[in-house]
Structure 1
């Protein structure tokens, strides 16, 4: 697996069809979490402080993922389902056919930040 030094490198190495989605997600997270640092932790880009990740994202071969706290997912599970997305305890998947609405990204990131207390 490649080692990435920043978000630009990560997005450039992602499958081409996901690059616009990842760029949009990165921009939204940067807007919602303006004082958070852009980090690469466990070879995944994210926003947080030190080793505390508020929100991270990843690209895979068939979909992308947004990773936030369990409490954020639980608090917004109905909205995630209503958006036609699938989720686990700490993340949800999305694709060009089923992108994450910006408003939902905002809610998830802010809820994750509250849960982590940073």
Structure 2
């Protein structure tokens, strides 16, 4: 498995069609969590404080994912459904055909931070 030095390297290695989504996602999370550090954990880019990961994201072959706390997913389940996106206990999947709305990214990032006490 490839190890990535930073967010830029991860995004550059992602499928080309997902790169603009990942750039936008990164910007929206950074805007929502301006004091968080950009980190690489579990071979994925994320934002956090020290060892605490608040938000992570990833690109796969057919979709991308935004990973937050389970409480953030629960709190915004209606918003996720309204956006036509699918959620797991800790993530929301999206694609170029169905991108994740910027406002939802911010809500999920802030809710994840709050639920993790950071």
Shift of 1:50: 1.1
1:102 maps to 2:91: no
Counterparts of 1:107 and 1:42, CA distance in 2:
23
Q: Which runs of 5+ in 2 are unaligned?
A: none
Aligned pair count reads 118
The TM-score normalised by the length of structure 2 is: 0.99
RMSD between aligned residues: 0.4
1:72 maps to 2:72: yes
Contact 1:41–1:51 (8 Å) recurs in 2: no
1:82 maps to 2:82: yes
Q: Which runs of 4+ in 1 moved over 2 A?
A: none
Matched with 2:52 is 52
Shift of 1:42: 0.6
The TM-score normalised by the length of structure 1 is: 0.99
Counterparts of 1:34 and 1:90, CA distance in 2:
22
Matched with 1:30 is 30
